[in-house]
Chains A and B, each alone.
Chain A
Amino acid sequence: MSFLSYLINGISLGSVYAIIALGYTMVYGIAKMLNFAHGDVIMVGGYAALTMMLSLNANPLVGVLVAIVVCTVLGITIEAVAYRPLRGAASPLAVLITAIGVSYFLQNMVLLIFGSNPKSFQSVVPLPDLKLAGGALTITAETIVTITSCIIIMVVLTTFINKTKTGQAMQAVSEDKGAAQLMGINVNKTIALTFAIGSGLAAVAGVLLCSSYPSLSPYTGSMPGIKAFVAAVFGGIGSIPGAMLGGILLGVIEILAKAYISSQLADAIVFAVLIVVLLVKPTGLLGKPIQEKV
């Protein structure tokens, strides 16, 4: 029974990683950049929801919606101010460092506004826990909501990308920017939209993460951000099902390692698994092999 409950916890944590990783992977697929500020957008989402719920006594659902709006606007702004001017820069490292600058900026901005003390987050899920097998197995309502949201997001996103015109445009831009532009696709708008979706997802992930692990500080986002990045690479960066698979596997490995091996070594084990996977499959589980042209 305890194994089953660990497994469910793992899938729940993995679902959060998966939602964050989707944002990473979409941005990477389309803009070919590692957006290191993505983890901090999660944290901003958490603070936005918390402020709405605590200061304005808003309904948790309103809090979540506000968080999504705040993060979406934030994502678009970051892209327009910090990343777009660097498109076409001589080195891809330039935009990476700028992303790190944005990450510092967000952390310190929140630090100034809300202070460095961790805030306790109140869960946005006002439902009772689910007890199974005569109380031997308890599944928290947060877990159920997290896993359900992850599945819904996955289905909606896949449909959006494959079935709508905008989604097709995103695929085209990620394939070849120049050619996409010649086909009449507005590249700048499409990339901005990708950032908007990714950041909106980050807000959802932030709220879900803080509901399950109710402590929020300006640095809350950085470790889940790195883990989600690992998840995205694990599954094959740029691939949406890959991000999903990578996220869930990572969450399960982390929770099982914590439970059965060592809680201090859990992170090391997660990273070690990543290394082994990449050595066997150098572009991740579901990634496309890199073609080498002479």
Chain B
Amino acid sequence: MTGMKSKKKNFRSNIITYAMVIAAFVIMQILRSAGHISSLFEGLLVPICVYVILAVSLNLVVGISGELSLGHAGFMCVGAFASAFFTKCLQNTLTVSGVRFALAILIGAVVAAVLGILIGIPVLRLKGDYLAIVTLAFGEIIKNVINVFYVGRDINGIHISMKDKFSLGMEADGEMLLSGPQGITGIPKDSSFVVGFILILITLFIALNLINSRDGRAIKAIRDNRIAASSIGINITKYKLMAFTISAALAGMAGALYSHNLATLQASKFNFNTSILVLVFVVLGGIGNIRGSVIAAVILTALPELLRGLADYRMLIYAIVLIVMMLFNWAPKALEWRERYLGRFFKKSAKEGE
């Protein structure tokens, strides 16, 4: 009986999450068509979608699998570069931008997933903070390695160098596809709010279905007690790798959306701070709570822009808000105080992921 009940509860909770996202999308579209959105906010719509996807995907690793990953920007970086590179290569051959972009997103996701498996196999043997530091290291390595590659194309084919542009030895009409720290330039702007919205729905569908599936329960069992889980025959490596890879693939997808929203794409953007930013969304939204990740990502991406009126003080205020919110949400004394004075308004509801 209780099993049925919890299934029902999960179902209702998922419906609320989808409904919330769809409602937000519809409202935004209405406001946009009515012209009530400032150009500043208009420019934020795709980044918000990118960060929502990233936050949900990181939550699969941090919340559901219970491993701290500090290198999520690395997967986003790989997805962004793989997809943008693909688009640049086929820009003149495949002119239907919709099909090309769909393929680019798929390529971004697949390349990031493959990298996720390659990194996951060694990394997931480690535990706790050691795992965190190794993911950080991989994130930095990915960024640095992409930074030294120069790729160009002319009538003789593709040229690759790790030194500089001139050692490519290209013909005069050659075209640079990837130029080291300058990255990829001239990417067509294929991303849009609608595409972002569809990708968010896909992400939610994958994440929520995974969490409530048999595999998802195995992953959560490992998080809660690794030894107990392995003693009932759950393959630890397989399930951890599954969560890690799916998360990487979704991040790669977000990277593709991100890169096709910018004219120039540079690897230095995907640094440690980006990984941390996404982690902040996950923790503030509630570890393991997918809906919370979505809300936190939207609010915190918009917040620095909404605070723009405060000019130089905005990042300072952002930092203070972050610290105060963390203390208010997590400090044992603050929780006690909330319980006593705010009672039922702030009662911690059971976490969605559990």
Contact = CB atoms under 8 A, between A and B. Distances in A.
Q: Do A and B come from one complex?
A: yes
A283 interface: yes
Contacts of A88: 332
Given A102-B323, A282-B127, A226 B287 contact: no
A274 B320 CA distance: 34
A85 B144 contact: no
Interface in B224-263: 227
A278 B148 contact: no
B141 A272 contact: yes
A264 B130 CA distance: 25
A111 B312 CA distance: 9
Interface residues of B, number: 49
Contact of B127 (A28, A102, A274, A290): A290
B130 A271 contact: no
Interface in B247-297: 272-273, 276, 279-280, 283-284, 287
Contact of B141 (A97, A271, A290, A292): A271
Interface in B16-30: none
A213 interface: no
A275 B122 contact: yes
B134 A274 contact: yes
Contact of B227 (A108, A262, A294): A294
A82 B320 CA distance: 10
Interface string A24-40: 00001000001010000
Given A98-B326, A294-B227, A237 B127 contact: no
A97 B279 contact: yes
A101 interface: yes
Given A85-B331, A94-B326, A104 B319 contact: yes
A271 B137 contact: yes
Interface string A76-113: 00000010011111110111111011101101110110
A101 B326 contact: yes
A237 B133 CA distance: 11
A265 interface: yes
A31 to B, nearest CB: 13
Contact of A97 (B126, B162, B227, B284): B284
8 contacts: A93-B68, A95-B330, A97-B280, A97-B284, A98-B327, A104-B319, A107-B315, A275-B138
Given A222-B272, A267-B144, A274-B137, 15 more contacts: A28-B129, A89-B331, A89-B332, A94-B329, A95-B330, A96-B283, A100-B280, A100-B322, A108-B319, A268-B140, A275-B134, A275-B137, A275-B141, A282-B126, A294-B227
